[in-house]
C-alpha cells in the first residue's frame, strides 16, 4: 500500500484526489457509496503487478476530493466531465474502466457519453438501466419500494444531519457487512432506531480498513454522497437525448447473488432474460458469484482481480 502514490489534480473546476500505482495501459477504477478510492486497494496492487497503471480517484464529493455545495453539481454530466478532464490531465486517450455501485452507474454513463475514451468495461453490482421516458426514477422507486426506501429518504433536506447523529464507524460496518439482500428501508427517525448488533469483522476486512473509511467520512460527512442520489431525476431530465441508446463497448458484468441490487424486482429477469444483452450489445460475460454480497471487490478480491485481468487482457 505504501507504494501507491497520491496527488491532487485540478479537473472541471474542482480539486480531485487521485491514487495511482504502476506503469502501462491505464485502468480507471470508480468507487461507490459509502466507499472511496480505497475500496480498490486489492485490485490496484494486483493489476499494477501485471503491467498496468491503476488509477483510482475519490469522486466528486467523496474523501479528499472537493465537494461543491449545490446538490445540482452532482449530475452524471458533472461526474463524467470530471473523469474526462482527469484523463486529459494525465495524458490518457483511452482507458480500461472498472466500476462498482455508483461507480458502476457513472461507468455506464461514461460509456454512453464518451465511448471513444473506453477500451473495455468491467462493471459490478448495478446493471445498465435504460431511460424510461414515461416515468421519473424517484417516482418509480416510491411506487416500488415506498417512501422509506433509502434512495427516497436521501432526498430529504437535512438527512445528512440525521446520519451524523449515528457513530460513523458502526454505521459503515452495518453497511459493509450486511448480507441481507432485501431493499434497505430507513425509518424517518433513523438515528433513534439505529441499533445494529455489535459488528464482527469478516475475514476480508480489517479494523484498519474500517478506520480509514470512517476517518474520511467523519471529516466530510455524507452530503456529497447523498447529492448523487438527489440527482436521479435531474439526470433523467438531462439525459433525454440518450433515450434508447445502447452500450457498445466490450463489457463484463459481475454481481453477487446476495447483492441487494440483484434482488431488486425484475433485475434477475432483465439480466438473464435477454434484455440486458439487448441494451448492452457489447456485453460479453455475466458472472453471478454465489454467496457474495454487495461489496464484492472487497469480499472476494482474488476472484475479482482475476475477472478484471482476464477480461481487459483480451483487448
DSSP 67: -
Beta strands in the chain (DSSP E): 5-11, 14-21, 26-30, 53-57, 95-100, 118-124, 251-256, 283-289
**pLDDT score of 281:** 98
**pLDDT score of 267:** 97
Helix (H) or strand (E) holding 144: helix 137-145
Asked if omega into 19 is within 30° of 0 (cis), the reply is: no
Angstrom distances, CA of residue 201 to CA of 74, 101, 182: 33, 22, 21
**pLDDT score of 65:** 98
Active-site residue numbers? 101, 229, 294
**pLDDT score of 268:** 98
Other CB atoms closer than 10 Å to residue 69's CB: what's the count?
9
Distance CA 91, CA 274 (A): 38
The pTM assigned to this predicted structure is 0.97
Angstrom distances, CA of residue 205 to CA of 140, 260, 279, 296: 35, 20, 35, 12
**pLDDT score of 292:** 98
Distance CA 129, CA 280 (A): 10
Per-residue model confidence as pLDDT tens digits over 29-50: 999 999 999 999 999 999 999 9
> pLDDT per position in the chain (315 positions), as tens?
899 999 999 999 999 999 999 999 999 999 999 999 999 999 999 999 999 999 999 999 999 999 999 999 999 999 999 999 999 999 999 999 999 999 999 999 999 999 999 999 999 999 999 999 999 999 999 999 999 999 999 999 889 999 999 999 999 999 999 999 999 999 999 999 999 889 999 999 999 999 999 999 999 999 999 999 999 999 999 999 999 999 999 999 999 999 999 999 999 999 999 999 999 999 999 999 999 999 999 999 999 999 999 999 999
Amino acid at each position: 500500500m505504501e507504494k501507491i502514490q497520491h496527488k491532487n489534480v485540478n479537473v472541471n473546476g474542482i480539486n480531485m484526489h487521485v491514487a495511482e500505482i504502476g506503469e502501462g495501459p491505464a485502468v480507471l477504477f470508480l468507487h461507490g457509496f459509502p466507499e472511496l478510492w480505497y475500496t480498490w486497494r486489492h485490485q490496484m496492487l494486483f493489476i499494477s503487478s501485471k503491467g498496468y497503471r491503476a488509477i483510482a480517484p475519490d469522486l466528486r464529493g467523496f474523501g479528499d476530493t472537493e465537494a461543491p455545495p449545490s446538490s445540482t453539481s452532482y449530475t452524471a454530466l458533472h461526474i463524467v466531465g470530471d473523469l474526462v478532464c482527469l484523463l486529459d490531465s494525465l495524458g490518457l486517450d483511452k482507458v480500461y474502466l472498472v466500476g462498482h455501485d455508483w461507480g458502476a452507474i457513472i461507468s455506464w454513463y461514461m460509456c454512453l457519453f464518451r465511448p471513444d475514451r473506453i477500451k473495455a468495461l468491467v462493471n459490478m453490482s448495478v446493471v445498465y438501466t435504460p431511460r424510461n421516458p414515461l416515468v421519473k426514477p424517484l417516482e418509480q422507486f416510491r411506487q416500488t419500494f415506498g417512501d422509506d426506501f433509502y434512495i427516497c429518504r436521501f432526498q430529504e433536506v437535512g438527512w445528512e444531519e440525521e446520519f451524523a447523529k449515528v457513530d460513523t464507524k458502526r454505521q459503515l460496518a452495518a453497511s459493509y457487512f450486511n448480507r441481507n439482500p432485501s431493499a434497505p428501508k430507513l425509518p424517518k427517525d433513523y438515528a433513534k432506531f439505529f441499533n445494529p448488533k455489535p459488528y464482527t469483522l469478516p475475514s476480508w476486512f480489517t479494523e484498519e480498513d474500517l478506520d480509514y473509511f470512517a476517518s474520511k467520512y467523519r471529516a466530510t460527512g455524507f452530503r456529497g454522497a447523498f447529492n448523487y442520489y438527489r440527482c436521479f431525476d435531474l439526470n433523467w431530465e438531462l439525459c433525454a437525448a440518450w433515450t434508447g441508446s445502447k452500450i457498445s463497448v466490450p463489457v463484463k458484468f459481475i454481481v453477487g447473488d446476495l447483492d441487494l441490487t440483484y434482488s431488486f424486482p425484475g433485475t434477475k429477469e432483465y439480466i438473464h432474460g435477454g434484455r440486458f444483452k439487448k441494451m448492452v450489445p457489447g456485453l460479453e460475460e455475466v458472472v453471478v458469484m454465489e454467496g457474495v454480497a454487495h461489496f464484492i471487490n472487497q469480499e472476494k478480491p482474488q476472484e475479482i482481480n482475476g475477472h478484471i485481468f482476464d477480461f481487459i487482457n483480451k483487448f
